[in-house]
Amino acid sequence: MVKILTYFIAIFFLFGCKNEEKSSSEVITTSEISIKKKENFGIVIHGGAGTILKKSMSDSLETAYKAKLKEAISIGYEILKNGGTSLEAVTHTINVMEDSPLFNSGKGAVFTHEGRNELDASIMDGKTLKAGAVAGVRHIKNPINLARDVMQNSEHVMLFGAGAEEFAKGLGYKMMDTSYFYTQNRYESLQRVLEKEKAQNEKKVSFEDPYIKNSKFGTVGCAALDKNGNLAAGTSTGGMTNKRWNRIGDSPIIGAGTYANNATCAVSSTGWGEYFIRSVVAYDISALMEYKGMTLQEAASEVIQKKVPALGGDGGIVAIDKDGNVAMEFNTAGMYRATMNSEGELVIKIYKEE
C-alpha cells in the first residue's frame, strides 16, 4: 500500500513539474512576442531615380554613393533603435543627403534656367496626419527642417519662397549665402542642357533627347516606422535642371511626393514630378491599401509600374507600412536606395538588375 501511494505521489510531482515548466515556457514565449512587437521598426531611403547605369558609373563614384546612403540610413536607424520618433529619424536622415553634393537636394541641388538653386521639401506625420512643406527657398541649408517647422510651429501646410524664408528667420534660421549651394558638376549639367535645348530649338536633335528628359530626375527621401508604431515620410529636392518660372514639382506636394498614415504606410517619391502630381502617387498607394486591401508591394507596383507609365511618366518610391514591410519600387534604370530593419539588416542598391 505504501509503495502504491509513493508511486502516485511521484507521478503527481512529475506531471506537476512538467506543467509548471510548460507554463513558464508559455510566459517566456508571450514575453518574447511582446518584445518583438514592441521592437518592430524600420527605415527606407532613396536618393533619386533615373537613367542610372552601371556602365556609366565609375567604381569610385559608386562607392561614394553607397557610403553616403549607408551613413544617412544609419543615422535614422540609430534614432529608431534608441526609441526616437519616426519624424526625428526622417529629418536627420534626409539632412545627411541634403548636406552631400552627391544628391539633388540642399548642397547638391540642380540649377534653374536662370542659374539659381530653388529648393523644395515636405514631411508628414502618420500619427496625426499633420504635414509641412516649403517650396522655392534659396537660403535654407536643410529645407526638410523648415518643412517640419511649418508643420509643428505654424497653422499652415505649405509656405513658398520669400515668405517661407521670413518664417524661417523668425525661428532663428541662419540664411545661407546662395554660393553654398553651388557645385561645379551641377552647373556644368545646366550648361549641357542649355546647349541641348538650343539645338532642339534649331531642330538639330530630337525632342526625346534622353539627356534633357532625364535632367528632370533627382530627389532624396525617407520613410520610417518607429517602435511606437508611428509612421513618417519626408522628401527634399532641388527640382529639375533648367526649370523655369518658379516651377514646383511633386516633392513638396502632400499626397504626391510625400504621404504618411499610421493606418497604412509612409511614402516618399522621386521622378518626373508633373506625372506624380497628376497621379497623386504617394496617397494613391495608401488608398489602394486602405480601400482595396492591397499589400504595400502590390499597391506600389500598381501605381509605379502601371498608373504612372500609362500617363507617360516615370520614377519611383520608397515606402514602409505599419507592420514594417518595405517597398522600393521604380520603373527607371536605377534608383539610389537603402533599407534597414529592426534586426539591423542593411540593404543598399542602385541599379535595376540588383
Q: Look at residue 217 in the predicted model and tell me its pLDDT.
A: 60
Which residues are CB-neighbours of 305 under 8 A, at least 6 positions away? 329, 331
Mean pLDDT for the stretch of residues 123-145? 98
Q: Look at residue 204 in the predicted model and tell me its pLDDT.
A: 58
Q: Look at residue 24 in the predicted model and tell me its pLDDT.
A: 41
Q: What is the pTM of this model?
A: 0.86
The overall average pLDDT reported for the chain is 89
Q: What burial letters (b/e) apply to 317-350, b meaning 16+ CB within 10 Å? A: bbbbbbeeebbbbbbbbbbbbbbbbbeeeeebbb
CB 246 within 8 A of CB 137: no
Measured CA to CA, the distance from residue 148 to residue 76 in angstroms comes to 16
Q: Look at residue 19 in the predicted model and tell me its pLDDT.
A: 47
**pLDDT of 14 higher than 50:** no
pLDDT in tens, 19-54: 444 444 444 444 444 444 558 999 999 999 998 899
CATH topology assigned to domain 41-351: Glutamine Phosphoribosylpyrophosphate, subunit 1, domain 1 (3.60.20)
pLDDT in tens, 166-209: 999 999 999 999 999 999 999 999 999 898 888 877 765 554 44
Q: Look at residue 274 in the predicted model and tell me its pLDDT.
A: 94
pLDDT in tens, 268-320: 999 999 999 999 999 999 999 999 999 999 999 999 999 999 999 999 999 99
Active site residues: 219
Integer-rounded Cα radius of gyration of the chain: 25
